[in-house]
Structure 1
Amino acid sequence: MPGLILYQRDYCHLCDQALAVMAEARTPDFDSIWVDDSDELEARYGTRVPVLRDERDGRELDWPFDAEAVRAFLVEKSA
């Protein structure tokens, strides 16, 4: 499902947990972007990571989320 981005940080245990949850939810292909590399992204997502974003419609799913929430986010996206 193109257009999914997981915003995360280096050395972030919550981001590692989010990746595991997304694997459990069988999330389709997504890109990872590290907010540490950008002042703009740091300002926007610095305290919120990990965040799953749908680039096509701008929806975001903030941590904490579980596999069920990710699946619902994906279903809502395709509806």
Structure 2
Amino acid sequence: MFRLTLFQRDDCHLCDLALEVLAQARVPEFESVFIDGDDDLEARYGTRVPVLRDGDSGIELEWPFGVEQLRAWLARG
């Protein structure tokens, strides 16, 4: 099971930018979940995507975030 989940939409330029930040920060593994067509996820994340969620703590990091902010969020312990 993945610890990190990136909630995103199809054809979302902000989601593409978030994926670039994740790559630059060298985030090892995460699950991509597309919210399109899922009523519950659309109600929860709607216009907030992209959102990175830590499955262990439930803490979420909302866009916009950069490499340093992402690294700090991941290291928060």
**TM > 0.5:** yes
Runs of 4+ residues deviating >3 angstroms: none
**Structure 2 residues without counterparts, runs of 5 or longer:** none
Calculate the TM-score normalised by the size of structure 1: 0.92
CA deviations over 1:18-46 (Å, ceiling 9, x no partner): 00011011112000000103100000001
Alignment of 1:7-26 (within 5 A): 7-26=7-26
Alignment of 1:1-79 (within 5 A): 2-76=2-76, 79=77
Identity of aligned residues (%): 59
The aligned amino acid for 1:65 is F
Preserved CA contact (<8 Å) 1:27 1:70: no
Q: CA RMSD in A?
A: 0.8
Q: Give the structure with the larger helix fraction.
A: 1
The aligned amino acid for 1:44 is R
Cα distance in structure 2, aligned partners of 1:33 and 1:27? 16
Specify the SS of the correspondent of 2:47: coil
The aligned amino acid for 2:73 is F
**Structure 1 residues without counterparts, runs of 5 or longer:** none
Cα distance in structure 1, aligned partners of 2:55 and 2:65? 18
Cα distance in structure 2, aligned partners of 1:15 and 1:53? 14
